[in-house]
Structure 1
Amino acid sequence: MDQRTTTLITAFVKAYGTKPSKGVRAPGRVNLIGEHTDYNDGFCLPMAIARDVRVVLRPRRDRTVHVLSLEQPGQLIGFELGKRIPKATAPAQRWSDYVRGCAQTLVEAGVPLVGVDLAMSGDVPLGSGLSSSAALEVATIHALLAASGGKLASADIATRAQRAENRYVGSNCGILDQLSSACGIAGKAMLMDCRSLALTPVKLPAGVSVVIADTGKRRGLVDSAYNQRRAQCEAGAKALGVSHLRDATLPGLWQAAQAGRLDAESVRRCEHVVAENGRTQAAFAALRAGDAVAFGQLMDQSHADLRDKFAVSCRELDDMVAIARGLTGCLGSRMTGAGFGGCTVSLVLDQHVARFVPALTRAYRKLHDLPVAVYV
C-alpha cells in the first residue's frame, strides 16, 4: 500500500470513525492523437496514465451518500439517493456535482444503489487536459457499484459517466475521456472508434517513451469556445447531409463552401476534424508497424491543424511543442486535450529522455513564469 492510499484511509477513519471496506481507482489519460474527433463520431488514440482518482468506501444501511475529497479540505458533502438528486448550491461545493451526477445517471438507469461513505483523492492535474473529471466520474461509478454489489460493463460505465457530465454538470463533452478511463490498459494505447465504441489496443514501438509536459497554463473560459467549435462541426455535417463529420470528405467540404453552405471559418474547423480522423487511423497503423518516426510526423501535423485550423492552441502550448521538437530525440510533439492550455505530449527516444526532460523544463521556464511539470 503506497502513501497516497494510506493517507486516504486515514482521512476516511477520521471523518467516519471506522475503516473503509473497499477501494477503487480510475486513471487519467493522455490522448496521443485524435483531438476534437470524439463528438464527431470519429477516431481517437488515447493511453491510460499512472495518475488516477482513488476512492475508499463503506456501504451504509440507509440512502445517504457522504463524500469527502482530500483536495477539498473541510468539506463533507451529503445527499440522499432519490429520483432527483439536487445539485450543490454553494459554489465551493460544485465539484460534488460530478459525484451527484454519476449517482443520478445510475438511478435513472434503474441500477439499485445503497447509501455509502466515500473518501476520494486524485493526482490528475486539474484543467491539464489529462481527464481529471472523467477519472473522478468513472471512479465514483465504480465506488457506487462496489457499495451496492452491482456490475456494469466498462463501456456502460463510460457512457453513464459521460451522461453525468453532459446532462448534470452541463459540459457537452464527447466519449473520449470517460471511455479511456473506464477501459484503459496499462502500457498500451487504444484506437477508439467513437461511433461503435470499439477499442483496439496497440503497443508503443520499442525504444520510445511518451513524455507529458504540463504548461502550467490553466484553461479559462473554455466552455463557450468549445461549444462554438462543436456547433461549427455540427453545421458542417448538416451542410454535407451527414450525421457527423466522420462521414465527411475534404472535397465535399470544399464543394459546400463554394456553394455558400459553409463560411470560411467553419470550413477550417471541419477540415481539421476530417484530416484528424485520417491521421489517427494512419497513426494506429504506424504503431502496429513499429514506425515511431511516422507516428511522430503525424503528431506534428495534428498540432499544426489544431493551432491553425481549429484554433484551440495557445502561446504556452505552441512554445512547449516548439521547444520539444528542437531537442535531440524528440520524434513528434503536439498539444493534447481540448486546448487553450494544459499539456503537450511528445514521443521521445528512450536514450534521450533523461536529458530531454530537464532541457524542456529549463527552456520553457525562460519563456513563461508558470509551474511547469513533466511526466514520463
Structure 2
Amino acid sequence: MSTHFTRDFLQVIRGPICNLEMLNLNISKRHPKDQLQSAGNMSADGDFDIDHRDIFQNLDVSLLELLHRRRVTERFLNASPDERIAILNEEMDTLGQEIDDTLIERHNLYTEQRGHVHNSVFRWVWIGIPLPVFRSRNFYRNYSMRRMLTVLAAFVTALWQRFVRMVSLVAFGFALFNYVPNLFRMVLVIGNQITFSENFLRDALTYIFRDNTAMMERHLLILKSNYDLSAGIAGDSSVFNTTYSLAYNITCRYLMSFFIDFGEDTAVYIDNKSLVFKFGDVINSCFPVLTSHPWYGTFVTVSVYMLYSVVGILICVNINWFYAANILNRISRYRRFYFSLAKIVWKSLFSEVL
C-alpha cells in the first residue's frame, strides 16, 4: 500500500481511535512521534476532527487506489476496537517497511555514487591491490549521444555568450573613448565661459607655477622649437629622466604666457590678467598672513577658483538638462496632436494623387 494512502488513512481514522485506552500503549512502542502528531480529539457528537488539506494533493491517484482506500476505511470504521488496533498496526508496519526500503535504496545509491570516479570503482583485492571495475550502465547513462549533444550545445552557447560580451565590451569601450573626450570638451567650454578664459585649467596651472623662472625658460625653449616636447632632453638620458623631462615639458607647454620679440632676443611673460590672478589678489588682500606663506596662498586661491568653476559648470549643466527635459516633455504632450495633424495634411495633399 502506498505512502499517500497510509497518510490519508491515518488522518481519517484518528478521531475514533483516540477514545481507545490501549491505542497509545500499542502505537507508542512502534512510532510514538508519528502517533502524537496524528492523534486528534473527537467531538461530543462523534464527528471527526479532520484537518483542512489541499484538494489537489491526490489528483494523480488512480481510481483503483481510491476504491481501495474507501474499502479499508469502511472496514476500519465498522470494526471493533481490537480489530481497529490490529488494522492500524498492519498499516504502520507497512509504512515502516516502505520507509526502510526507501532508506536502503537511497543508501545503496549513495554508496555506489560515492565510490565512483569517472564511472569506475576501485576495489581493493588481496593485499592492497586496486582493481578498477567498469560500470557500463553508468557510462552509457552519462556519456550517451543525447548527453554529449546537450553538453556540446551548452558549451557552444556559453562560448557564444562570452563572444557577444567581448564584442559588446569592445564596442562600449570604443564608443566611450570617443564620447568622453567630446563630453570633456563641452564641460571645458562651459568652464571657460564662466571664468572668461581660453582655458581655465591652464590658467590654474599658470598661477601655480607663476614664480618658477626655470619653467618659463623651458617654455620659451619649447616655443622657439615650434612646440617640440623633446626640446632640452639629452639623447643619452635614462628612461626615468626622459619620462620626467617629457612630463616637465608638457607642463611648461601648457602655461599661459605671451612673449615679446626684441629682434635678437625674446622675452616671455606670464599672462596675469586671468580670473585666477584676480582671485589671488583679493584673497591676499583679505588675508595678509597668506603672503608670508606663498604655497598656502596658492592652494587657497586655486581651491576657490576650481570650486567656483565646478559649481558654475554644475549649474549650467543642470539648466541645460532642465531645458532639454522641458522641451521633450512638451513635445511628448503634443505628440498625438502632431501625429493627427500630419495625418490630416497627408490625406488632404496626397490621398487623391495616390
Q: TM-score range by the shorter chain?
A: under 0.3
TM-score w.r.t. structure 1 length? 0.16
Greater share of residues in strand: 1
TM-score w.r.t. structure 2 length? 0.17
Greater share of residues in helix: 2
| Structure whose alpha-carbon radius of gyration is higher | 2
